[in-house]
Amino acid sequence: KQEVTQIPAALSVPEGENLVLNCSFTDSAIYNLQWFRQDPGKGLTSLLLIQSSQREQTSGRLNASLDKSSGRSTLYIAASQPGDSATYLCAVKSGGSNYKLTFGKGTLLTVNP
Amino acid sequence: GAGVSQSPSNKVTEKGKDVELRCDPISGHTALYWYRQSLGQGLEFLIYFQGNSAPDKSGLPSDRFSAERTGGSVSTLTIQRTQQEDSAVYLCASSLVEKRTEAFFGQGTRLTVV
């Protein structure tokens, strides 16, 4: 059974700081890994999708890496801004033909002005 | 539509009543997921539809929960005889059925059972 863990559960940083969020998964037989952002009371917004054959993906100030063999992914946020404050979730797609998404519990990020 | 649409956005119901939650996936997306997010908890998988294949119902928490998908598009999640522990945000996502594709989520339905 796939399990996804995100560390830390919460993180508070001053504006402008670079930061790293961590995601680990127990079964390396994944199709892809997706990072999402969730604002309070809202749905999930997709940030980055990394295929199992890729090592990293970049979008603006965000960079996500994937080490499938060790079951780890990191989300790097450069020059953080108060608007980055949200919960960040990672999810892996695996499970044979059912392509089930398994989520971590998320990291609550607060960027202080 | 441009994205995944869920309705209603909020629902308050009395304990014991039945509720129906609706999800309109992105046009052309044949894979559809339902998840539940309880206060302070992670996303809990409920059910997965893939094209015309039998759905994966392994996440449904009890027989009070059921879901259907008509015509391979709109999906309805039904909760019968609601209980207070059913209070949560119910999220729907869709994707192309191919395994390497991205999943897109709706804004969710916040269900409160009083």
Label residue B7 by pLDDT band (50, 70, 90).
Answer: very high
Contacts of B3 by beta carbon, 8 Å cutoff, 6+ apart: B26, B104, B106
Can you give the pLDDT at residue B99? Answer: 67
Can you give the pLDDT at residue B51? Answer: 82
Cis-peptide, bond into residue A40, ω within 30° of zero: no
Distance from CA of B16 to the nearest CA of A (A): 25
Q: Give yes or no for residue A97 having a pLDDT over 90.
A: no
Pairing of strands B10-13, A30-38: unpaired
- Chain B partners of A99 at a C-beta cutoff of 8 Å? 31, 48, 50, 95, 97, 99
Percentage above 70 pLDDT, chain A: 96
Average pLDDT, chain A: 93
Can you give the pLDDT at residue A99? Answer: 74
Can you give the pLDDT at residue A84? Answer: 97
Q: Sign of dihedral through CA atoms B33, B26, B2, B7? A: negative
Label residue B1 by pLDDT band (50, 70, 90).
Answer: low
pLDDT tens, position by position, B40-57: 778 999 999 988 888 889
pLDDT tens, position by position, A14-33: 999 999 999 999 999 999 99
Q: Give yes or no for residue B72 having a pLDDT over 80.
A: no
Residue identified by tokens 């700081």 is: A17
The residue with greater pLDDT, A42 or A92, is A92
CA closest to B56 among chain A residues: A98
CB-based contact B91 A43, cutoff 8 Å: yes
Can you give the pLDDT at residue A56? Answer: 96
Name the token pair of A31.
């199709």
